[in-house]
Chain A
Amino acid sequence: MGKDVPLGKFRTPQVSSTFVSVYVVVPAYNEHKSIRAVVESLMPYGTVVVVDDGSSDGTGIVAAEAGAIVPRHPINLGQGAALQTGMEYSLQNGAQYIVTFDADGQHDPNDIPRLLSILKDSNVDLILGSRFLGSTIGMTASRRIMLLAARRFSNFSTGLKLTDVHNGFRILTRRAAEAIRLNQNRMAHASEFLTQIKQQKLSFLEGPVTIRYTEYSMAKGQRASAALGILLELLTGKLLRW
């Protein structure tokens, strides 16, 4: 079920008092190339929980050596499932705020303190990152078109008015994390997340974040052809009343 991480190679987390009750959940599948840098950059901002989604390249070991706590799925289930596992683990361990963060290095950890501050000041249940309110580096035109089309569809189907409907950067209060229950294991979880915000009547804001596209992250990202699969997953989810 995965190798034991050897003792003595862990880093002591240097978490300031501002982020003591903050848990950063990073779902990861075969991200051994990027996960160490991601974990190290997140360590000052809270307890880092990397959910190893059945990786076969030692992602979990690398993440643990970098200082993360690593719950490991025995089989690959999908990003949605990994996110839910991370959230449940964080809640069980007393998290008051949960940050969801991608493992491919697209997100900027420096956005965490700013958005956390906005969240605390505004007293909403969660804050959603938006690249269109913030900035993007290296985004292609085709990716922009795909995201704008997804935004149009999502805003129509959920009734929410968002600028970025497919951003993995979010900060949830404990209340929001307890209210949301993701049942979509794979990429449809992003849409399900928004649907549940609406159903659970959670208050939210969008906050500006920076998304950096690299060759590595683009290769890992979604294809436009995946949109049909996501649509089918959402439809069956509705039929099953999940």
Chain B
Amino acid sequence: MPIRILLTSILLTILCIALVRRKTFPPAALSLAAVCSTGIMLVWFPEFAMRLALMLGVGRGTDLIFYCFIVATLAVSMWLFFSLKSAELKITVLAREIAIMNTKTHPIDRRKKNNRRASKGKSSLAKR
């Protein structure tokens, strides 16, 4: 009984956070809410996992839950990996823009500019 209360509390907390954040990232929030709801149901009605497992040809309810956990973990890992790759691409584009924008004009251009300023009576050298 205590473990059921503990697990239910944790899953309810995550469910609430997912629902509060649902507008920020709806797909992840909805998926998380669905997983938490299923988890709470299985905590209080474990025989449901057994019946479902038998229907699917799996020996035990815990085995079915374990298989689902592995698949979900792999899916999330892959999603995270590709998200990171996508973020890396965006960072690269940003860094490139910064690099090109901040590239000093060719030294010969600056020297010509300084010479023009000198001929107009202004100081030709920047302060070192």
Contact = CB atoms under 8 A, between A and B. Distances in A.
| A and B found bound together | yes
Interface of A: 1, 4-8, 10-13, 47, 51, 64, 67, 69-75, 77, 81, 84-85, 88-89, 92, 183, 185, 236, 239-240, 242
Given A7-B126, A185-B88, A74 B99 contact: yes
Interface stretch (B16-24, B47-55, B61-69, B89-97): B89-97
Nearest to A75: B95
Contacts of A70: 103-104
Given A8-B125, A51-B99, A89-B100, 11 more contacts: A7-B125, A10-B111, A12-B108, A13-B108, A64-B107, A67-B107, A69-B103, A72-B99, A74-B99, A88-B96, A236-B81
Interface residues of B, number: 25
Interface string B31-53: 00000000000000000000000
B106 interface: yes
A92 B54 CA distance: 65
B102 interface: yes
A1 B102 CA distance: 10
B96 A73 contact: yes
Given A72-B99, A74-B99, A183-B89, A6 B128 contact: yes
B117 to A, nearest CB: 12
Contact of B85 (A13, A72, A236): A236
B1 interface: no
Contact of A69 (B92, B106, B125): B106
A203 to B, nearest CB: 28
Contacts of B86: 240
B85 A88 contact: no
Given A88-B100, A240-B85, A81 B125 contact: no
B96 A81 contact: yes
A81 B95 contact: yes
Contacts of A242: 89
A230 to B, nearest CB: 15
Nearest to A5: B104
A185 B92 contact: yes
Nearest to B128: A6
Contact of B99 (A10, A64, A85): A85
B92 A77 contact: yes
A185 B88 CA distance: 9
B98 interface: yes
Among B81, B91, B100, B128, which residue has the most Cβ atoms of chain A within 10 A? B100
A174 B96 CA distance: 19
A55 B72 CA distance: 40
B110 interface: yes
Contacts of B110: 7
8 contacts: A10-B111, A47-B106, A69-B103, A70-B104, A71-B99, A77-B92, A89-B103, A239-B82
Nearest to A78: B92
Contacts of A8: 125, 128
B75 to A, nearest CB: 14
A6 B128 CA distance: 7
Contacts of A64: 104, 107
